[in-house]
Each structure stands twice: as structure tokens, then as C-alpha cells.
Amino acid sequence: MLSGIKPSGELTLGSYLGAIKNWAERADQYDCYYFMADLHAITVRQKPADLRRRTLEQLAQYIACGLDPERNTLFIQSHVPQHAELGWVVNCYSMFGELSRMTQFKDKSAKNADNINGGLFTYPALMAADILLYQPDYVPVGEDQKQHVELTRAVARRFNGVYGDVFKIPETFVPKVGARIMSLTNPTAKMSKSEDEDAGRIALMDKPEDIMRIFKRAVTDSENSVRFDRENKPGISNLMTIYSAVTGKSYDEITAEFDGKGYGAFKLAVGESVVEMLRPIREESTRLLTDKGYLESVYRAGAEKAGYMANKTLRKVYKKVGFVPR
Ligand code: TRP
């Protein structure tokens, strides 16, 4: 199993409930690889010092969220040069038309009209390389990344069609609960880590009082009944998704719990549950960040293990396409 997150913004409640929490539960069943996608992050402009800091913070947060480095391979994408190398090869097997259809490319170019660079366009080819290098069975991603995994499958099949079985065709793995946590101020849009001024975002490192303030202001509706209806009640439904993911309660149980209690009480309960869930994660991340030597030992060991796997695939690919072996 393999997945990654770009260190282009603070990890959010959505990153945790939608991704990392589920990853952490898989370590028993799968050989798991998770990385900080720093190569992907520079497809939009980053301040170098911020990128460096966030990459290490993200590693500390992965660990604090339960990804035990003894049982998961945690690494920084740029430390394993095979990503960039296979990325080039995959580029040569990805069609301009396919890449042009990627909705994330269209969204990002609209948002970064002054910097529509080649990397933004070929991003999915690099992502396909990230995946194919490790021959994973499953790639856990959010809804917004499914299209990229589809492309990965298409390119892998195309390549295998020409050269024989080189790549395993990976499956997308979208978790059922918490798959999509939406913004608390704009509940029809995903809770984003990169949007600078998203007032509806909870970062993993936010202080309890800030978390409570954001929940109290969460956008709801005027019906005043806590029931799940994504279409007509996106705000309440999002809060129910969060509460359900944190407490394990079903939507019916939540509806019963807040019957006749009003939205104010519901928002407080959701906020408090999130504060308590994130408290140990924040404390442990803060502690780990003071231990730079430990973090370094983790990302070094991770890159070594990942590099070994990645190199096996890359050598095979280089041979198949006709490069002279070194
Ligand atoms: N594109 C993913 C995102 O924006 C991050 C990513 C990069 C990724 N490479 C990956 C996810 C490989 C899964 C597998 O969130």
C-alpha cells in the first residue's frame, strides 16, 4: 500500500480523518509506504524555508497520528531519486490529451493563472511513477485523486501492453467513513490544506480555543434538525461525518442524541470531540519536532528502504525501454 501528501500546507482534520487515520490502521495487513510529496509541492510556488519546515512537520505528524516508523516506511519523495527518473519515463507514455483532461490540472491552472508550468501539467505522470515504483496493490486516496489513479492504471496497462508485465495495476482505495471532510465555512468544497485563507479549516496543530471558535461558526442551515442529507444540508451532514468519524457513532445515533437540542449544542459537541482527539496528536508532534535527530533517522531509514524497492522497478523499466545498463 502506498500514498503521499504534498507538504504544501498544514495537515488538516480532513487529512487525518480522510487519510492518515485509515493508513495507520492498515499496518498489520499491508507493507505500507507513505511519503511527503515535496516534488509535487513545487508545482505551485513555495517559500523554501516553509517547504522545508512543513516537510519535517508532516513527518512528525504522520508519526504522531499513529504511523509507527517501525511498521511503515516513511520517506521524503525527493530523497528517492527514482521518482523523478521513472517520472520522466511515464511522461513519455502519458498522452497530452489524457493529461489535459485532468480536473485537478484545470482547477490549479485557474487558480495559478500566472504560473501554469509544465510540472503542473505533468503532475499526474509523476504521481503515476510514485505509485508504480512500489508495485502496490492499493493506493488510498481521496475522491479528488481518483482520476490520477485511473490515469496511472491506464498508463501501466499501456506500458505492460508493449513490454510485458512490468507494472502491477493498482486499485484505488477510498475509505468509507470520513472519505471527504468539507470546509466548515463552505461545506460543498473539500477542507483544503493549501487554501491560505480558508476559515473553515482545522489544522492538526490548531489550539483548542481556535478549534472551538471555528466549529461555533460552522455554516449550517435554518431547519434546526440534525439529520444526514448531503444534498440539502451539506453543513450539518459534514459535521455529522466528522462526529461519526471521531466517536464511531452512526448517523442515526447522532440524530437521536441531538433530537430537540439545537445546532448550538451539536456544534459544541463536535468541536469538543475534535479537540480531545487532536490533543495528543498536537502534543506528540510538538515533542517529536524538538528531536531532529530522531526525525532524521526515520527519514533516512525510510529513503533507504523505499529506494531499494524503487530501484528494482526502475532497473526493469530502463532495461525494457532499451537503455544500456550502467
Ligand atoms: N497528488 C496527491 C495529492 O495532491 C499527492 C500524491 C503525490 C500522491 N503522489 C502520490 C497520493 C501517490 C497517492 C499516491 O494529495
For residues 133 and 86, the answer to whether their CB atoms sit within 8 Å is: yes
What architecture (CATH level 2) is domain 208-287? Orthogonal Bundle (1.10)
Does ligand 1 lie within 6 Å of residue 306's CB atom? no
Return the number of other C-beta atoms located less than 10 Å from residue 146's C-beta: 13
Single out the residue of 125, 128, 135 nearest to residue 92, CA to CA: 125
CB contact at 8 A, 166 and 120: no
Q: How does pLDDT run across 182-214, given as a tens digit for each residue?
A: 999 999 988 887 655 567 999 999 999 999 999
CB 9 less than 6 A from any atom of ligand 1: no
- The Cα-based distances of 155 to 131, 160, 162 in angstroms read 12, 9, 11
Q: Residue 294 and residue 60: Cα distance in Å, rounded? A: 10
> Residues 217, 185: contact at Cβ < 8 Å?
yes
Q: How far is CA 101 from CA 95, 115, 121, 151, 283, in A?
A: 10, 19, 10, 10, 42
Residue 41 CB–ligand 1 contact under 6 Å:
no
200: cell is 473553515
CB distance 200 to 184 below 8 Å: yes
48-64 vs 292-321: helix crossing angle, rounded to 10:
100
Domains 2-174+291-321 and 208-287 agree in fold: no
Find the 124 Cα to ligand 1 centroid distance in Å. Answer: 9
Q: Is 319 a catalytic residue?
A: no
Best CA proximity match to 142, nearest among 182, 110, 173: 173
Q: What is the pTM of this model?
A: 0.94
pLDDT at 192: 81
Residue 278: burial class (beta carbons within 10 Å; 0-12, 13-18, 19+): buried
Grid cell at residue 258: 441531538
Domain ranges (residues) in the chain: 2-174+291-321, 208-287
SS3 101: coil
All residue ranges of the chain with pLDDT < 70 are 176-179, 194-198
CATH class of 2-174+291-321: alpha beta
- Annotated active-site residue 108? The verdict is yes
End-to-end CA distance of the chain: 30
Contact yes or no for 14/141 (Cβ under 8 A): no
- What integer pLDDT is reported at residue 194 of this predicted model? 65
Mutation choice for ligand 1 from 40, 55, 103, 104, CB with most ligand atoms inside 8 A:
40
Q: Is 6 in the pocket of ligand 1 (CB under 6 A)?
A: yes
Residue 34: closest CA among 50, 21, 23, 45: 23
CA distance 270 to 240: 8
pLDDT digits (tens, 9 = 90+) for 160-184: 999 999 999 999 987 766 568 999 9
Question: What pLDDT does residue 256 have?
Answer: 97
Instruction: Give yes or no: 47 in active site.
Output: no
Nearest Cα to Cα of residue 63 among 269, 310, 281: 281
Instruction: For ligand 1, say whether the CB of 131 is within 6 Å of any of its atoms.
Output: yes
- Residue 4: CB within 6 Å of ligand 1? yes
Rounded distance from Cα 209 to ligand 1 centre (Å): 31
Which ligand 1 atom lies nearest to the CA of residue 130? 12
**Active-site position among 6, 21, 108, 233:** 108
d(CA 43, CA 112): 10
